[in-house]
């Protein structure tokens, strides 16, 4: 499964990167994933290996754009045992169709990625009038 997301945040890369710097915050952002940092790229983001509900790699890449940052999110992972998790009342139908199960999980992860990005955007842009440059470094 590959999940890719991009969100513009009117804050400097340094400010956006700081939001991901504390390993204690990772569990709150990705509660079912165990992350092991393998590349701290400073203001450009982080890269992790992923275990838990999925096995693979994940990255946040922070690109300076205009007066802010473009937050890129990449998740490349598979289920740990080769089958997708079962959730909800349609589990029996999904279990018979692994392609549908994989698509369902991918969509769930896409929405989760966008929730993380929008929460961060709301927090970092709080109080900034629309059309005005971001405050801070």
Instruction: Quote the domain boundaries for residue 67.
Output: 2-124
Q: Could you tell me if residue 28 is inside a domain?
A: yes
Q: Could you tell me if residue 133 is inside a domain?
A: no
Are the C-beta atoms of residues 53 and 33 closer than 8 Å to each other? yes
**Domain total of the chain:** 1
Backbone conformation region of residue 45, classed left if phi is above 0, alpha if psi is from -120 to 50, else beta: left
**How many other CB atoms are there within 10 angstroms of residue 57's CB atom?**
16
| pLDDT < 70 regions, the chain | 82-96, 133-137
Q: Quick one: pLDDT at residue 51?
A: 95
Q: Could you tell me if residue 104 is inside a domain?
A: yes
Q: Could you tell me if residue 132 is inside a domain?
A: no
Q: What is the CATH number of the domain that holds 34?
A: 3.30.530.20
Q: Could you tell me if residue 131 is inside a domain?
A: no
Q: Could you tell me if residue 110 is inside a domain?
A: yes
Q: Could you tell me if residue 93 is inside a domain?
A: yes
Q: Quick one: pLDDT at residue 98?
A: 72
CA distance 116 to 114: 5
Are the C-beta atoms of residues 35 and 49 closer than 8 Å to each other? yes
Q: Could you tell me if residue 129 is inside a domain?
A: no
């Amino acid at each position: 499964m590959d999940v890719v997301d991009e969100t513009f945040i009117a804050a400097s890369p340094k400010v956006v990167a700081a939001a991901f710097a504390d390993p204690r915050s990772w569990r709150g952002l990705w509660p079912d994933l165990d992350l092991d940092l393998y590349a701290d790229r400073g203001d450009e983001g982080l890269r992790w290996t992923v275990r838990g509900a999925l096995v693979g790699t994940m990255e946040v890449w922070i690109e300076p754009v205009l007066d802010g940052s473009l937050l890129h999110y990449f998740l490349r992972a598979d289920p740990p045992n080769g089958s997708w998790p079962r959730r909800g009342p349609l589990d029996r139908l999904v279990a018979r169709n692994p392609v549908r199960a994989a698509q369902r999980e991918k969509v769930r992860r896409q929405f989760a990625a966008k929730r993380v990005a929008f929460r961060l955007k709301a927090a970092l842009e709080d109080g900034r009038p629309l059309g005005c440059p971001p405050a801070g470094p």
